[in-house]
Amino acid sequence: MLGDIRIASNVYIACGYTDMRKSIDGLAALVQERFQMDPFSPALYLFCGRRCDRIKALLWEGDGFVLLYKRLENGSFQWPRSEEELRPVTWQQFRWLMEGLSPEQEKAIRPAKKGAMF
C-alpha cells in the first residue's frame, strides 16, 4: 500500500542537518554510506533541514521506495541537532515529534514496572 508507514519495524531520525534537495537516491545513499544501514530494510528514515519546518521520510515498501514530505505552515520540528548519527526512536517519540514536541520528553509518564503494590 502506498505510504503505509506502519509496515516499518523501526523508525530512525537522522540527527543534524540534511540537505533537503536530496531525493530518494540521495537519501538512500546517506542511509547506506554515512550511517552504515540498509535502506532496503523495513524501516522509516526521517530527515530534516536547517529551517526545521520540513521533513522527509524514506521507506522501502518491498517493490520500491516511498518518499514522504511534510512542510509545516506554523512552527517547527524539535529536531535533535547535537549529533551526526542515526538515532532509533519509538513510535511514541515519532508521534511527539510530529506534534511539535521533542522526542525526548522528560516529563512524560513512563510505563509502570510490575512489582509490589505497596
Reported as a single tens digit per residue, the pLDDT across 88-116 is: 999 888 888 888 888 876 666 667 777 76
Q: pLDDT tier at 65 (50, 70, 90 boundaries)?
A: very high
40 belongs to a structural domain: yes
Cα–Cα distance for residue pair 46/94, rounded to 1 Å: 10
48 belongs to a structural domain: yes
More confident residue, 106 or 51: 51
75 belongs to a structural domain: yes
**13: pLDDT strictly greater than 90:** yes
* Amino acid occupying residue 61: E
Residues 96, 103: contact at Cβ < 8 Å? yes
pLDDT at position 85 is 84
Computed over every residue of the chain, the mean pLDDT equals: 87
With b meaning 16 or more CB within 10 Å and e meaning fewer, what string describes 72-97?
eeeeebbbbeeeeebbebeeebbebb
87 belongs to a structural domain: yes
pLDDT at position 101 is 81
60 belongs to a structural domain: yes
Residues forming a β-bridge with 11: 44, 89
Q: Which residue has the cell 524501516?
A: 43
Q: How far is C-alpha 34 from the geometric centre of its chain's CA atoms? A: 16
113 belongs to a structural domain: no
Q: What is the pLDDT of residues 20-48, one digit of tens each?
A: 999 999 999 999 999 999 999 999 999 99
The model carries a pTM of 0.83
104 belongs to a structural domain: no
How long is the chain? 118
109 belongs to a structural domain: no
Counted domains in the chain = 1
**5: DSSP letter:** G
pLDDT at position 118 is 59
Cα–Cα distance for residue pair 58/61, rounded to 1 Å: 10
Domain extent for 94: 5-98
